[in-house]
Every structure is written in C-alpha cells, then in structure tokens.
C-alpha cells in the first residue's frame, strides 16, 4: 500500500471573503452618496449645456483644415498616452512591481556589498 500526497489545484479560485452576502446591501446608498451623485450629475448637465451654447451661439464661425488636423492630433496623442499608461500599469502589475514591501531582517540580508549605492567602508 503506497501513500500518495494530495494534489494541490493551483488554478482553483480563492473564496471570496469580502463580497457582501446580501445582494441589496451593495445597492443601498446613504444620504451623502446621493448628494455626491446629484452634484456630479448636475455638473454633467451644466457642462453639456455650456458645450451646446458654445457650438450654437455663433453660427458663422467655421473651423479651418488646420483646426481639424490639430484636433485630430490632440485626440490621437491623448489616446496614445492613455493606452501607454494602461500598458505600463499592466506590465507593472504582472512583473511584480506592485507587490507589498518586504522587511529585510539581518538574518535574511544577502551577503556581499551594500545595496545602498554608496561606500560604507571606513565609516566608524
């Protein structure tokens, strides 16, 4: 009779411990949350109204070709910066740069030259 070690499933999902048990608990909002939502929605409506006025008040103004080119270049540049930053976030997360710091105690300190970036010999 041989004894076998139990297999560990590395791909098994971890149990969710922070999820609310009641579905309606995540939907309930307090008075402060409703005030914030109302203020943000009113700012959105006010911004849309000002943008509408800006486009319709002066009917005789036309945008030149250079204006459209500059607008397209600005949009493309903004998209490139946003996509680049998102790619850096995913790279950082997958590479382990976002891991919490670990305290290096004297018994765990690696042997060899100091990692501080400066010489420590000769100091008393």
Domain spans in the chain, listed from the N-terminal domain onward: 28-60, 63-96
Query: Does residue 114 contact residue 120 with C-beta atoms inside 8 Å?
Result: yes
SS3 string, 40-51, reads: HHHHHHHHHHHH
Residue 96's pLDDT is 76
Prediction pTM value: 0.40
What b-and-e string marks burial along 27-44, b requiring 16 or more CB atoms within 10 Å of the CB? Answer: eeeeeeeeeeeeeeeeee
Q: pLDDT digits over 28-87, tens only?
A: 889 999 999 999 999 999 999 998 888 788 777 788 999 999 999 999 999 999 999 999
Q: Is 29 helix (H, G, I), strand (E, B) or coil?
A: coil
Query: Does residue 20 contact residue 26 with C-beta atoms inside 8 Å?
Result: yes
């Amino acid at each position: 009779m041989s004894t076998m070690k139990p297999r560990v499933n590395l791909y098994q999902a971890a149990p969710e411990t922070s999820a609310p048990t009641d579905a309606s608990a995540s939907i309930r909002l307090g008075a402060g949350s409703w005030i914030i939502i109302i203020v943000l929605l009113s700012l959105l409506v006010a911004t849309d109204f000002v943008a509408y006025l800006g486009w319709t008040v002066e009917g005789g103004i036309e945008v030149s070709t250079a204006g459209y080119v500059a607008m397209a270049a600005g949009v493309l540049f903004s998209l490139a910066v946003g996509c680049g930053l998102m790619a850096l976030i995913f790279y950082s997360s997958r590479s382990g740069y976002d891991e919490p710091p670990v305290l290096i105690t004297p018994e765990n300190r690696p042997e060899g030259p100091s990692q501080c970036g400066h010489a420590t010999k000769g100091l008393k």
